[in-house]
């Protein structure tokens, strides 16, 4: 029974990873199509800002799903001190990436007032 649950957890984690990758890839495709189409109708600065925001949101969501898949794999399949340590490092790196990407998308650091007009 334990082997079946391990295979199920591996399968679920793989599906979540694929979904995360698809979200990142689809946000890049969407932003590219928007950029090509938008250059005929909007200013390049506006198109660039929208594309950058769209790709950033896709990467953030994709990273969250990839972290979830890593957690499932580590907890359900291979729970060792080494795998937990690797998971901790991966989560720290991805959390830092999420934090900085979110700051880029929002245009401010989380501790800044929302009315502040400072650039990140």
pLDDT digits (tens, 9 = 90+) for 70-82: 888 888 777 788 8
In 3D, which of 62, 76, 58, 55 has the Cα closest to residue 16?
Answer: 62
Domain membership flag for residue 12: yes
Q: Would you say residue 111 lies in a domain?
A: no
Residue 73 inside a domain? The answer is: yes
Number of domains in the chain: 1
> Per-residue pLDDT averaged across 4-28, rounded?
93
Cβ pair 98, 63 in contact under 8 A = yes
* pLDDT at residue 44, rounded to an integer: 86
pLDDT, residue 87, reads 83
How many other CB atoms sit within 10 Å of the CB of residue 77? Answer: 15
Show the tokens assigned to 64: 């969250």
The answer to whether position 9 is within a domain reads yes
Q: If pLDDT is split at 50, 70 and 90, which confidence band does 12 have? A: very high
Tokens of 28: 């890049």
Confidence of residue 83 (pLDDT cuts 50, 70, 90): confident
* Residue range 27-63, pLDDT digits in tens: 999 999 999 988 788 888 888 888 988 998 899 899 8
Task: For residue 100, tell me if it sits in a domain.
Answer: yes
- Name the percent of the chain lying above pLDDT 90: 27
The answer to whether residue 114 is domain-embedded is no
- The pLDDT of residue 115: 59
From CA 6, how far away is CA 114, in angstroms rounded?
A: 46
pLDDT band for position 9 (cuts 50, 70, 90): confident
pTM, to two decimals: 0.75
Q: Assign residue 69 a region (left: φ > 0; alpha: ψ between -120 and 50; beta: otherwise).
A: alpha
CA distances to 25, 43, 98, 107 from 119, rounded to whole Å, are 28, 21, 18, 6
Degrees, nearest 5: CA angle 27-29-35: 100
Range of the domain at 39: 2-106
């Amino acid at each position: 029974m334990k082997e079946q649950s391990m295979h199920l957890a591996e399968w679920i984690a793989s599906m979540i990873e694929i979904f995360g990758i698809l979200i990142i890839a689809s946000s890049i495709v969407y932003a590219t199509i928007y950029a090509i189409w938008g250059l005929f109708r909007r200013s390049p600065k506006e198109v660039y800002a929208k594309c950058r925001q769209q790709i950033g949101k896709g990467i953030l969501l994709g990273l969250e799903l990839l972290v979830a898949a890593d957690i499932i794999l580590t907890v359900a399949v291979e729970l060792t001190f080494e795998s937990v340590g690797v998971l901790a490092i991966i989560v720290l790196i991805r959390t830092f990436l999420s934090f900085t990407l979110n700051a880029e998308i929002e245009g401010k650091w989380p501790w800044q007032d929302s009315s502040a007009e400072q650039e990140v």
